[in-house]
């Protein structure tokens, strides 16, 4: 009975607290069509395919004030389904943030929520599709260098500190006591319940980051460094460093980024260097065109993987249309292993 009374009392506190809070529900639906034709060094088409894909996401967010110290909070989670997702639908954007508005300091207990190092979030990817999306199908995709992202601390469950630095930007530090082994799985930590843990041979990791404009209008800078302590079976720590710069003036936006990281899945330390360059032009408030060039070079590769794409985006109001074509060359560092890609996507937000 005492346990029941305690539970009821806590529940009433939660209900009372949420009465002064603000709750929002937003979402997004994507339908994508992709067609790809791949070649080997002889020039013979060896892989071709085409088809539709879908993605849905619903975001639940709640924010308000705590009853102590003038502190504010924000809490939420997302449900994301990529196609027919076999793994967890809850491994994205789960968080409880506590903020001191007077100092601009936030403590975040979260997964895939705060600013983080990520190839797809590169400053060079200004619009439409990323190198990952253009290069993730067809021959050699399993050896694709454009998606190397070990030490992805921000995708794991972390305790993080964020500090706003006025108009300069935001500094962040994230600590993950357990980082899912990026060399053997693409899922993030979180298979355990809230009172249990799930850990294999993993070690802890951290990520330090900065995003901001340095007080310059139109400028955006990204700086990240992450590290995961070596795990059983490896002789080295997994590390990643990412630098990005984007600048907008009038209708023109220019972006460039570089990421250097250990190749995920390797048992010996081999670095991958990715570079992304993007340029976009807003023809009018509803129409933009852009070009993207990306390279990825691994220490052991004879050749550098390259990607060049052009794309267009059109705003239809509540729905956006994106169209892009791309050419991948020397996929996985293999000479003559190429592919041509066409992609189009409708994105609806609600």
pLDDT in tens, 193-249: 666 666 666 778 899 999 999 999 999 999 999 888 777 667 778 888 999 999 999
Q: What is the pTM of this model?
A: 0.84
User: How far is residue 236's CA from residue 260's CA, in Å, rounded to a whole number?
Assistant: 15
Three-state DSSP state, 297 = strand
Top-confidence residue, 178 or 125: 125
> Going from the N-terminus, what domains does the chain have, and what CATH number goes with each?
22-349 (2.40.160.10)
Q: Is 166 within 8 Å of 133 (Cβ atoms)? A: no
Which runs of consecutive H residues, i.e. helices, occur in 110-265? 131-135
User: How far is residue 284's CA from residue 302's CA, in Å, rounded to a whole number?
Assistant: 43
User: How far is residue 134's CA from residue 342's CA, in Å, rounded to a whole number?
Assistant: 8
- pLDDT (tens digit per residue) in 279-329: 999 999 999 999 999 998 888 778 888 999 999 999 998 899 999 999 999
Residue among 86, 91, 26 nearest 58 (CA) = 26
Share of the chain above pLDDT 90, in %: 46
Predicted confidence at residue 156, as pLDDT, reads 80
User: How far is residue 345's CA from residue 322's CA, in Å, rounded to a whole number?
Assistant: 5
Which pair of tokens denotes residue 133? 């999306």
Lowest mean pLDDT among 15-29, 96-110, 140-154: 140-154
pLDDT at 257 over 90: yes
Residue 50 Cα to chain centre, angstroms: 25
pLDDT at 41 over 80: no
User: How far is residue 98's CA from residue 157's CA, in Å, rounded to a whole number?
Assistant: 16
Predicted confidence at residue 190, as pLDDT, reads 46
pLDDT-derived band at 92, boundaries 50, 70, 90: confident
List phi, psi (to 5°) of 154: -65, -15
Top-confidence residue, 301 or 144: 301
CA distances for 139 relative to 119, 143, 279, angstroms: 21, 9, 28
pLDDT at 171 over 60: yes
Q: Is 85 within 8 Å of 60 (Cβ atoms)? A: no
Residue in this structure with the two tokens 């935001």, named with its chain if needed: 170
């Amino acid at each position: 009975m005492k346990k029941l009374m305690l539970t009821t009392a806590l529940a009433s506190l939660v209900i009372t607290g949420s009465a002064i809070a603000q709750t929002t529900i937003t979402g997004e639906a994507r339908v994508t069509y992709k067609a790809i034709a791949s070649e080997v060094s002889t020039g013979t088409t060896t892989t071709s395919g085409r088809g539709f894909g879908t993605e849905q996401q619903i975001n639940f967010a709640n924010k308000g004030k705590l009853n102590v110290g003038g502190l504010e909070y924000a809490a939420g989670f997302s449900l994301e389904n990529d196609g027919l997702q076999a793994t967890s639908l809850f491994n994205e954007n789960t968080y409880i943030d506590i903020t001191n508005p007077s100092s601009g300091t936030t403590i975040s207990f979260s997964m895939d929520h705060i600013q983080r190092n990520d190839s797809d979030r590169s400053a060079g990817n200004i619009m439409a599709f990323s190198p990952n999306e253009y290069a993730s199908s067809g021959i050699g995709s399993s050896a694709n260098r454009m998606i190397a992202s070990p030490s992805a601390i921000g995708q794991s469950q972390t305790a993080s500190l964020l500090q706003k630095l006025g108009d300069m930007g935001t500094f962040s530090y994230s600590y993950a006591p357990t980082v899912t082994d990026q060399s053997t799985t693409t899922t993030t930590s979180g298979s355990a319940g809230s009172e249990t843990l799930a850990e294999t041979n993993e070690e802890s990791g951290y990520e330090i980051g900065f995003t901001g404009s340095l007080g310059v209008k139109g400028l955006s800078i990204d700086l990240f460094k992450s590290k995961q302590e070596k795990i059983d079976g490896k002789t080295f720590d997994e590390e990643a460093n990412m630098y990005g710069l984007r600048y907008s003036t009038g209708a023109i936006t220019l972006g460039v980024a570089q990421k250097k990281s250990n190749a995920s899945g390797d048992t010996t330390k081999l670095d991958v260097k990715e570079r992304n360059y993007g340029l976009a032009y807003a023809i009018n408030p509803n129409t933009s065109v852009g070009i993207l060039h990306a390279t990825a070079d691994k220490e052991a590769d004879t050749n550098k993987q390259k990607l060049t794409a052009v794309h267009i985006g059109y705003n239809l109001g509540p729905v956006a249309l994106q169209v892009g074509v791309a050419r991948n060359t020397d996929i996985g560092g293999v000479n003559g292993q190429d592919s041509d890609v066409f992609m189009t996507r409708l994105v609806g937000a609600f």
